Amino acid sequence: MGIFLLVIGLAVLGFGLYNMMAAKRVLAAPFKKTGELAKNPVSEDPKGAMSTEGKVIPPTTQLLSPASKQPCLAYELKIERLYEKTETTQDGTKTVKGTETLDTIKGGAVFSIDDGSGPFNIDVSKGADFDNMKDGFKKELNGHSGSSHIQFGEYSYDVPVIGSDKGWTTGFKATEKYVPVEGSLFVLGKLEGASLVKPGWRSMMASAKGREGLLGALEKKKKFSFIGGGIASVLAIPLMIFGPKADPNALGASCPSEMTDVRLRCSDQVSDEDLFTWTVTKAGTYDLTVYAPAKKVKFDPGLMITDSTGAELANVSGGQGGNAKASVDVQPGTYKVKVYLADGYEVKGGYSYDFDIAAQGGSPAIAEPLGDKEPSAEDVAAAPEGEAPAPEAEAAPAPAPKPAKKKGKK
């Protein structure tokens, strides 16, 4: 819980930092009246940054949005494909729906703004970030006509060739947004000739709030983000320090990438192969087992163990739906354990599986002490078949008694 809260806090703080940097950019850029820029288009900034604001004067060459044919300063039309396809997971085969963006068409005009001192050119043909875009057109066409052309309002779109691996098309969707030719704008860009244009190193800012209004909005977002993110981060610290901690060696925990000696049953997911580092501190014979889950699509688990030289000590498979078990006699050292798809059949999301390491003739309990308490009934029930977790010694460690063997299914 503490880590989750910390991640949220840091994300909110990051948003606050973004707004703070945007506000600094606005404050750092020179600001001049439109008439002053028209008479002397020179920036004191080394990179040519400049900002100004004024009432919008319509472009000499009218720009129309492609689908709705609205007069505008800029537009964006997104074309999406709706599809269905079959996916096979370990739980079976099912049909899923989805969307993919086929194209995003953008356009911008060359217009002027005037604060009363004289007009100055603004060129957004290479793009700009507007905060006053309006919805112009939205439509969904169901089904696939089979034609290579589809019509969205006044816009005709050529459908590209779509591979069979992307499922079957069930429809298309168009969403158009545009910036109306009205009101006033604050613009921050690069001074180039007698126009403000998009800088090559970052975005061009265009706000209908005006310079002061934009700074106020950025300051407000920064303030609330820093307060909220700070509170979340501060609350996360005691939760991380004093809150209950999950035992990484407990039954059912996620399998760590590094293991030492024996290991109670843990859980993991494999799409192609998983590789673990296994450190042995006590020589002996160990049983390593990959347990296949009871799922509709059967998993054929493969288990390979190699030493530090890369030599194979074991390479076994369990068969579809079976368990892969390898017994190896090893000396102290470091080994590699690989869990893989023995039949090479992959499913979306991969296969879940359980894994454990037990010492033959000894206790399958983990090398590190579990604590001052005896193992719970749940721990005993979840331990590998035929074994039982050893109780924690109160004083110096003592050899664990050999557990009685039980017969039964795994």
> Which residues, 6+ apart, have CB-to-CB distance to 327 below 8 Å?
285, 286, 287, 288, 314, 360
Mean pLDDT of 193-217: 94
Locate 48 and state its tokens: 């040519």
Would residue 235 count as lying in a domain? no
> Which residues, 6+ apart, have CB-to-CB distance to 155 below 8 Å?
66, 67, 77, 174
Please tell me whether residues 164 and 293 are part of one structural domain. Answer: no
Percent of the chain topping pLDDT 70 = 83
Would residue 272 count as lying in a domain? yes
Q: What is the DSSP string of 338-359?
A: EEEETT----TT-EEEEEEEEE
Tell me: pLDDT of 218 over 50.
yes
Would residue 172 count as lying in a domain? yes
Mean pLDDT of 65-74: 97
Q: How many CA atoms lie within 13 A of 133 on its CB side?
A: 21
Would residue 10 count as lying in a domain? no
Would residue 230 count as lying in a domain? no
**Dihedrals φ, ψ of 19, to 5°?**
-70, -35
Q: pLDDT tens for residues 284-301?
A: 999 999 999 999 999 999
Would residue 389 count as lying in a domain? no
Please tell me whether residues 204 and 317 are part of one structural domain. Answer: no
Locate 184 and state its tokens: 């006033």
What is the band of 317 on the pLDDT scale with cuts at 50, 70, 90?
A: very high
Closest to 22 in 3D by CA, of 234, 282, 225? 225
What is the band of 234 on the pLDDT scale with cuts at 50, 70, 90?
A: confident
Question: Domain limits at 372?
Answer: 258-382
Ranges 100-109, 112-121, 166-175, 374-383: which has the least confidence: 374-383
CATH code of the domain covering residue 314: 2.60.120.380
Question: Tell me, what's the pLDDT at 240?
Answer: 66
Residue type, 216: G
Plot region of 344 (φ>0 → left; ψ -120 to 50 → alpha; else → beta): left
Average pLDDT, the chain: 86
Mean pLDDT of 328-339: 97
Please tell me whether residues 150 and 272 are part of one structural domain. Answer: no
Please tell me whether residues 333 and 201 are part of one structural domain. Answer: no
The total number of structural domains that make up the chain: 2
Question: Tell me, what's the pLDDT at 171?
Answer: 92
Would residue 216 count as lying in a domain? no
Question: Tell me, what's the pLDDT at 391?
Answer: 44
Please tell me whether residues 49 and 182 are part of one structural domain. Answer: yes
Question: Tell me, what's the pLDDT at 16?
Answer: 93
pTM listed for this prediction: 0.72
Would residue 222 count as lying in a domain? no
Please tell me whether residues 173 and 44 are part of one structural domain. Answer: yes
